[in-house]
Amino acid sequence: MGDGENHHPFVYNPLQMKKHIAPVFVMLMLAACSGEPDYYTGVPRPQPPVVTPPQKDTLIKLPSEWTKATTLMSGFPEGVEVYRRTTAFNGKAMNAYCVVFDPAVAEFKPVVADKNKKSSAYYAEETGTKYACINAGFFGTNVSYSLVKYNGAISAVNIRSLNRPYNGASTPYYPTRAAFGLTASGAPQVSWVYHVGTTVYSYPSPSPNELNKAPEAVPSATFPSGGAAWNVTSAIGGSPVLIYNNSIRITDKEELIDIDNTSSRARSAIGYTATGKVIVLAVEGGNTAGGIGLNLAEVADLMKSMGCTGAINLDGGGSTYMMVNGQQTVKPSDAAGERAVMSAIIIKKK
């Protein structure tokens, strides 16, 4: 048997082989997963790409003084948001709400009644899924003085004429007044408009009327210059324009509108941002325990600070009222409570 050493023949033992091979396999797997160089070649192993989840578009970025009113947004889709501001603006106590919506997501529906009706009643009577309702244009007893157009149908027009004193006599004037509208594709616009025959014309500048001066000509297809048939499918009238082409431009004098322009009072307004989002605003007024209100210049400043590139003033004072998701927001400034109006804006599910 040779030199006398004790030789043992190799005997295959599966359990022993498994015991030694398993740790090596685990080490190779860890190296592959960690990006370490290949054990045999020294070349780093390729790593799977890092997939970043898509970021949702931000509907709007408001100044920090505005906080999202999530309790009012139950059941709302992406593309409709509600915000509240209680921080003072220009040194004035504030209680204000705004509804921001994407016209691709929510329906903009101006409505008019055959007689004065509260905004809360417009909301209650509207069918379908409703998000918000705010008072809209100017009015008298059972008559609207502001444009109301929905899905191509005009149910009220901006006032065609009004009388003002001139040379000691009551004299008719023909103002072009503010309106906000959406095109068929949902693009928002602000313009000065006048009803010429059966067509609403919009103009790049208002008719230059001014108190104590002779009235301008009746607006037409050629006056003021640059006018054209207004290509919007839905619209609401108000007065005056506050922001036009991204600049504050308050045309209360040209529009012959005097609504306590320099006084602090409740205000309603509507505008849009550079990205086409619509902002509907209600500012409480006449409430020393809440909001005392704003003047017209301050409303324009506020809307501009919120990102509006176009905006108009709606009827305010005791008419200002906004309901969101079935709940009242600002407190009406009339001692008797909510005022009956002639037109309103409803924001609802498409």
Residue 74 · residue 250 · CB < 8 Å: no
pLDDT digits (tens, 9 = 90+) for 185-236: 999 999 999 999 999 999 999 999 999 999 999 999 999 999 999 999 999 9
Cβ proximity of 255 and 178 under 8 Å: yes
Contact 301, 96 (CB under 8 A): no
Alpha carbons 8 and 1: distance in angstroms, whole number = 12
Contact 228, 201 (CB under 8 A): yes
User: Which runs of E-coded beta strand occur in 128-212?
Assistant: 130-135, 139-140, 143-144, 148-150, 153-156, 162-166, 169-173, 177-182, 188-196, 199-203
pLDDT tens digits, 129-141 = 999 999 999 999 9
Q: Give the 3-state secondary structure of residue 30.
A: helix
**What's the sign of the alpha-carbon dihedral 252, 253, 256, 259?**
positive
Provide the token pair at 40: 């045999």
What is the reported pLDDT for 170? 97
In order of 144, 213, 280, 301, the CA distances from 236 in angstroms are: 11, 29, 12, 21
Delimit the domains of the chain by residue range: 10-51, 67-164+233-349
pLDDT at position 17, please? 42
Series of mean pLDDT values for 10-residue runs along the chain (350 residues): 42 44 41 46 57 62 98 97 98 97 98 98 98 98 98 97 96 98 98 97 98 97 98 98 98 95 97 98 94 97 98 98 98 96 98
pLDDT of residue 259: 86
pLDDT at position 42 is 56
β-pairing, 322-324 vs 139-140, is: unpaired
pTM here is: 0.84
Length of the chain: 350
DSSP state of 290: S
